[in-house]
Homo-oligomer: A and B are copies of this chain.
Amino acid sequence: MLSKKCKYAIHALVYLAERHEKGPVQIQDISDDQHIPKKFLEAILLELRHAKILESKKGKGGGYYLIKDPAEVNLMQVMRLIDGPIALLPCVSLNYYERCDECRNEKTCGIRNSLIQVRDETLKILGGSTLAKIVKREKSLKVR
């Protein structure tokens, strides 16, 4: 399961992607619109800024804005950043690999195979889920 923090991050990014290149958006606005606790959201946006996905401007008229093209930011990146590994086991993770203490021999562990498949399919889908596509999808859904 995704953490709430990660859900918040995604919703905030989608909100910012909808307003891409329309100037900075204040934390308060995102917080109000998306029902995210403001202080918590601050921390999340800061993390996204450190990851070079967002940039911020201080003072009046300030706020946060995307510095990447919405087509270049996908759910895989965001989930990895906020929640860490996407794989179901550490010994199957590409970015956060860790040995399993349990299985003596990773090579002959019969369950890794399935979990590698799950990982690969998941990454394919999440990697293809860009902010641009999500915004587009939401728009088409809202029209109806």
- Residue ranges of A at the interface with B (Cβ–Cβ < 8 Å): 1-2, 7-8, 10-11, 14, 34-36, 75, 85, 87-90, 100-103, 107-111, 113-114, 117-118, 121-122, 125-126, 129, 133-135, 137-138, 141-142
Contacts and interface: CB of A to CB of B under 8 A. Distances in A.
B110 A138 contact: yes
10 contacts: A2-B88, A7-B89, A14-B110, A35-B102, A75-B111, A110-B141, A111-B134, A114-B125, A114-B134, A117-B125
Q: Is the interface of A mostly helix, strand, loop or mixed?
A: helix
A90 B121 CA distance: 20
B35 A141 contact: no
A129 B8 CA distance: 33
Contacts of A117: 125
A85 B14 CA distance: 25
Given A2-B89, A122-B118, A10 B111 contact: yes
Contact of A1 (B34, B90, B111, B138): B90
Contacts of A14: 110-111
A48 B129 CA distance: 37
